[in-house]
Amino acid sequence: MELAIDGIIVGNTTVGRPDNLLSSPDLVKEAGGLSGPPLRDLSTAILSDVYRLTRGKVPLVGCGGVSTGEDAYMKIRSGASLVELYTALIYDGPRAVSRIKGELAEALQRDGFKSVQEAVGA
């Protein structure tokens, strides 16, 4: 596959609202992009589809709902070479990065991966 791109960011926000959203009905009706944990499962499923379609030949950035190391790990296992944070940084500040990195390292070690690269799409 010959592509003139260096990578794809998969996930970001959605204007859709999942049925299990806990916000009040007035907030659910508001326009604008939904981000954070409510987006995690949908964005991870889309990431997995894009990884399959690109056959792992294009670096993917997984974003959307990453607030724990386990979330980052699932993005990586679904095909992400990199993980993007936004909402977690807003709520937890810069300390979210070191916390997520530590939790990610534990998940990789638990499942026998020596590096993030080994776990991409595995």
- What gap in Å lies between CA 72 and CA 28, rounded to an integer? 26
Task: Tell me whether residue 97 is in a domain.
Answer: yes
pLDDT at 89: 92
Average pLDDT, the chain: 87
CATH number at residue 46: 3.20.20.70
Task: Tell me whether residue 2 is in a domain.
Answer: no
pTM of the predicted model, to two decimals? 0.83
Compare 15 and 90 and report the one with higher pLDDT: 90
Task: Tell me whether residue 41 is in a domain.
Answer: yes
pLDDT at 105: 98
Compare 20 and 100 and report the one with higher pLDDT: 100
Q: Which residue range is the domain that position 35 belongs to?
A: 8-119
Task: Tell me whether residue 1 is in a domain.
Answer: no
Average pLDDT over residues 89-94: 92
Number of H helices, E strands in the chain: 6, 3
Q: What is the pLDDT of residues 41-78, one digit of tens each?
A: 889 999 999 999 999 999 999 999 899 999 999 999 99
Average pLDDT over residues 78-94: 94
Average pLDDT over residues 11-24: 63
Whether 30 shows a pLDDT value over 90: the answer reads no
Q: Let me know: does 85 contact 100? Beta carbons within 8 Å.
A: yes
Number of domains in the chain: 1
Task: Tell me whether residue 46 is in a domain.
Answer: yes
Task: Tell me whether residue 47 is in a domain.
Answer: yes
Q: Let me know: does 27 contact 79? Beta carbons within 8 Å.
A: no
